[in-house]
Structure 1
């Protein structure tokens, strides 16, 4: 077996072969040499040509393709397949339709190297809107033949910004200064230590509808002592994708209620009760909880 890669890119997907192809194409252009990372595509039961789209890149990427039968929404299980199969110390999660700046993987690795102990790294994801649909103006601003230039123009013009900019404007970019950084651990593009992911049990496969499985994992990582860090230079952009907004919002709320039953801690109760429009008030409210009611990270 060849030397272990430095990171593993895990991409769950379902019936988005064209978006997957764009994501994989961006991975062929990474500054990190192709023999230093691996890609695991996990197909959640697609009926389109996803398998062909993935295998098309076998000659340019160290890529493995897994397929699980379509038994409904099982993105948590799909990502867990990737975590189990990873040969590297760091897992980088991304979604089909997320296009990575050529420096993205290098920046993820730099943040992990600079962080003592296990880390979770949050990048900057252009086109990530509050609706969850990806920012309707992104596609017309992208030149797929000059992805880096397109992202840098979005940055210069402050267009299609990551919705989490509202969080950073309010709390700053040092995530060690907020009590619940896991609130914005969203796996459209994020990374964490493989050993720590396995130690906390990976994604909870009881999440069978959209929303919440990533912050649930982030909560457990944080309680296990993972250091959360934001790297603005780990840039990516998400292409628009179709989603039923009302159904997604209702699903997200149901999954938060599941988390309250699962953990029974004041901090999760607070998150579940918070109106959607006040989502970024959460860390301020957590900081205001009486000390005796704040969650014990070692619990």
Structure 2
């Protein structure tokens, strides 16, 4: 008898075979057991042996592999493919190269027990904008023991989630924030599969890096999702090459697209120049320094 998994884990990837292996290896250690979840690896046109890496785990995970031709940056389309094929009521979205704590999926699932749909934000250690601490991380941290490393980072207060400073300033529930959707970054989040489909999934007009996740989360917010932070849904962002200067330029363009797409007082803040941080959006609204309401009409 086939039993529907409790959650579907979607991992989009492109030419990151080694990082994918690390993400899948961490999933084999989930304390809910590998029979309790499925993994959907969606390949955006890799040519580096990604399919071979995925095949290594077919007897260790309930994993399915989907491939789309390389037609440029199409992470939105890749995630949508995963959402379309997910069989579980809850979808967990994880970036390739993110290593989940053994209790991460359990923590995500417990937040979806309520009748009202939740948009759960997990906690991500070791995320640098420009990978500036990558070498020190590799030299001092044991990425083969995710749980022990997270325990150490938590104990020492090192390389905490990039959003931690904001969380510390605003320790109340995320649902009390005027724009909790701005903190929903798809490196480690979850939502109900039915709601993801109802709001239309990811906008596939995003064909460069950045903002496709907050575009989705803005629609989840307007559709009634309650945003929740769960530090027990912990993960490590394995250090790998990236260029924040280049990425920030792409993100600025995409944020302008989001601002124009919805044209609401809140989303217009995304287009302010010079670009303000996603944290500042909430603080501007909290301070009442912008003519925007906290409760926009639900779509």
Q: 1:30 to 1:270 in 2, by over 3 A?
A: same
Deviation, structure 1 residue 298: 0.9
Relative to structure 2, which stretch is displaced further, 65-74 or 272-281?
Answer: 272-281
Q: Does 1:50 align with 2:50?
A: yes
Partner of 1:61: 61
Q: Does 1:182 align with 2:181?
A: yes
In structure 2, what is the Cα distance between the partners aligned to 1:92 and 1:72?
A: 24
The residue correspondences of 1:144-155 to structure 2 (distance < 5 A) are 144-155=143-154
The residue correspondences of 1:5-20 to structure 2 (distance < 5 A) are 5-20=5-20
Q: 1:194 to 1:289 in 2, by over 3 A?
A: farther
Deviation, structure 1 residue 76: 0.4
Deviation, structure 1 residue 255: 0.1
- Residue 265 of structure 1 contacts residue 295 of structure 1 at CA under 8 Å; is this kept in 2? no
Work out the number of aligned pairs and report it. 297
- Residue 128 of structure 1 contacts residue 134 of structure 1 at CA under 8 Å; is this kept in 2? no
In structure 2, what is the Cα distance between the partners aligned to 1:39 and 1:132?
A: 29
Partner of 1:81: 81
Partner of 1:32: 32
Q: Does 1:125 align with 2:124?
A: yes
Q: 1:292 to 1:176 in 2, by over 3 A?
A: closer
- Residue 105 of structure 2 contacts residue 233 of structure 2 at CA under 8 Å; is this kept in 1? yes
Relative to structure 2, which stretch is displaced further, 71-80 or 261-270?
Answer: 261-270
In structure 1, what is the Cα distance between the partners aligned to 2:81 and 2:132?
A: 26
Partner of 2:156: 157
Relative to structure 2, which stretch is displaced further, 34-43 or 168-177?
Answer: 168-177
In structure 1, what is the Cα distance between the partners aligned to 2:155 and 2:252?
A: 35
Over aligned residue pairs, what C-alpha RMSD do you find?
A: 1.7
Partner of 1:213: 212
Deviation, structure 1 residue 62: 0.3
Unaligned runs of 5+ in 1: none
Partner of 2:225: 226
Q: 1:174 to 1:127 in 2, by over 3 A?
A: same
In structure 2, what is the Cα distance between the partners aligned to 1:296 and 1:47?
A: 44
Deviation, structure 1 residue 139: 2.4
In structure 2, what is the Cα distance between the partners aligned to 1:190 and 1:134?
A: 24
TM-score by length of 1: 0.94
TM-score by length of 2: 0.94
Deviation, structure 1 residue 116: 3.8
The residue correspondences of 1:225-244 to structure 2 (distance < 5 A) are 225-244=224-243
Partner of 2:138: 139
Cα offsets for 1:141-180 (capped at 9, x unmatched) = 3323422111100110011111100210121151011111
3-state SS of paired residue (1:77): helix
In structure 2, what is the Cα distance between the partners aligned to 1:134 and 1:111?
A: 33
3-state SS of paired residue (1:266): coil
In structure 2, what is the Cα distance between the partners aligned to 1:155 and 1:49?
A: 35
Q: 1:259 to 1:119 in 2, by over 3 A?
A: same
Q: 1:278 to 1:203 in 2, by over 3 A?
A: closer
Unaligned runs of 5+ in 2: none
